[in-house]
Amino acid sequence: KNEVEQSPQNLTAQEGEFITINCSYSVGISALHWLQQHPGGGIVSLFMLSSGKKKHGRLIATINIQEKHSSLHITASHPRDSAVYICAVRFNTDKLIFGTGTRLQVFP
């Protein structure tokens, strides 16, 4: 069965903290996406991964295919990072399933 679990559901941090958001999935995948959604609804695609690790600025995304797990890290968090982060998994069945999202609030 194609399932995606994301944690934590909510996350509060102080500015400068290191943030980790996790995403686990049930079976084989062709790609995993990390998305960012700001209040008002706009969604930005942060990363698309099928293996290894990607970095963009203060954001790092990793995926472990054997463990069926991906993490999104934010280094030196900033209030402007406050948003909902969503993982989306495209399974080998070609089905696309979304995690429930992690609401991040970073306080100055």
Partner 1 sequence: KAGVTQTPRYLIKTRGQQVTLSCSPISGHRSVSWYQQTPGQGLQFLFEYFSETQRNKGNFPGRFSGRQFSNSRSEMNVSTLELGDSALYLCASSPVPFYEQYFGPGTRLTVT
Nearer to partner 1, 17 or 48 (CB): 48
Residues 31, 87: contact at Cβ < 8 Å? no
Residue 83, beta-bridge partner list: 104
For residue 103, what are the contacts with CB-CB under 8 A and spacing of at least 6? 9, 10, 11, 84
Is residue 21 involved in binding partner 1 (CB under 8 A)? no
* 98 sits near partner 1 (criterion: CB under 8 A): yes
Q: Could you count the other beta carbons within 10 Å of the beta carbon of residue 106?
A: 20
Q: Which is nearer to partner 1, 63 or 77 (CB)?
A: 63
Footprint on residues 71-90 left by partner 1 (CB under 8 A) = 86, 88, 90
Query: Can you give the binding site for partner 1, defined by CB under 8 A?
Result: 30-31, 33, 35, 41-45, 48, 86, 88, 90, 94-101
